[in-house]
Amino acid sequence: MYTIQSLYAFEILDSRGRPTIKAGCVLQNGIVGEASAPSGASTGSAEALELRDGDPMRYGGLGCRKAVAHVNHQINQAVQQRAFHSQSELDQFLIELDGSPNKANLGANAILSVSLAFARAAAQQNQQPLYAYFNQLLPHKRNASTLTLPRPTINLFSGGKHAGGQIAIQDVLIVPTAARSMDECMAVTYAVYQAAAKLTHQKYGARALTADEGGLAPPFQSVDEMLGDAVDAIVSAGYAPGQEVALAIDIASTHFYDNEIYHLGSEQLDGTAMIKQIAAWLDRYPIISVEDGLAEDDWRHWPQLCAAIGHRTLVLGDDLLCTNPMRIRRAIAERAATALLLKVNQIGTLTEAAEACTLAQDTGWHVTVSARSGETEDHWLADLAVGWSGTQIKVGSITQSERLAKYNRLLEIETHTHLPIVQWPK
């Protein structure tokens, strides 16, 4: 049992300089847990509502004072001196307190920050590492000796909303498929990233800008150029493309989809043509994961995409699924995906995210646990990926502290526990 003495929250700045929320949960025994809520830029329409102030004179309307006030007043008053037997009991209380279908009243950022802070405090009361506490939130708990580290998919090149739209698709990531540890994954990534930075400097005549998540963002003229440069960087670093280091792509198709047409650069493609284009990229490049290959509302074509490429790559749903159990159930029924991109703030509480994770895993899907473009130095996501047996983790590149905090936490867990890393393919 966990008795809450009080809650508190305040604004902090995320990795893009925009406000987000940090909350604290003080238990009656004096234990304090704190956690920060991330924020997305490339967001799906079905995501829980991130409450912003809307005051154009302060942070361009992006302030979070309203959400902070909800934690400090309404939520705090409702939970003070209240005992909760579990995380799910606390989260359900918050959901009912909000009373809206998308957490619009209190704000998903307010609710999530409390859900996470409570988890940190509860783990401390139980005298267990956070990943072990997270593991207990799943119905199919795993023995500590059978937990694994997720394999990282790491941003190399970025476009789309993460980089100002110089190229339509959002990210090209590298996956160190042959690496046998997290430590080795980081060393491989460093080599490929440095090779890519050198290559883009030589090819484009200037140091490439970096995007929200740390990926390099040179002025690519086409998706093929972006993917080709990624392969060249892998080779330049001394690795075999597809054998030692593969590629993953986040197409984020919703952002260039309009009136049932995909506006991919100068091309205008219907759903069938877009599937053919993705298949053509798979023919030419060592791609093992395709995220949001189609738009979030193009349900008619997602099963066709899955049938066309699902036997040779992950068909990963982000905006399509929004970590929402209802949408995941539909995708399972329609065979529209083979993997879930799990973002806790898309749904708003740990308990609902755990349900989404369980649905995906029980179906045999891979689960990629993902950070957001607006992140903080908080590293709870690394523990979540371990505790929930994520097959992959998607944090960003290796050049910014809010990304490195998660990678460093994974290295710390590896050092202390000697957990093995997930093998690819699983």
**Strand, helix or coil at 274?**
helix
375 catalytic per annotation: no
Contacts of 407 (CB under 8 A, 6+ apart): 152, 182, 186, 382, 395, 398
Contacts of 265 (CB under 8 A, 6+ apart): 167, 168, 222, 223
> Tokens 């304090």 map to which residue?
32
Strand-by-strand arrangement of the 267-269 sheet? 257-258, 261-264, 267-269
Which of these is catalytic: 22, 343, 394, 406? Answer: 343
DSSP state of 334: H
- Select from 310, 417, 412, 422 the least CA-distant residue to 369: 422
Q: Cα(309)–Cα(290) distance, rounded to whole angstroms?
A: 9
Contact 26, 145 (CB under 8 A): no
List 289's β-bridge partners, or say none. 248, 314
Which of these is catalytic: 213, 352, 402, 414? Answer: 213
213 catalytic per annotation: yes
Q: How does strand 151-158 pair with strand 392-394?
A: parallel
List 8's β-bridge partners, or say none. 24
Taking the alpha carbons of 212, 218, 221, 225 in that order, is the dihedral positive or negative? negative
Contacts of 220 (CB under 8 A, 6+ apart): 157, 159, 166, 167, 226, 229
Known catalytic residues?
A: 213, 343
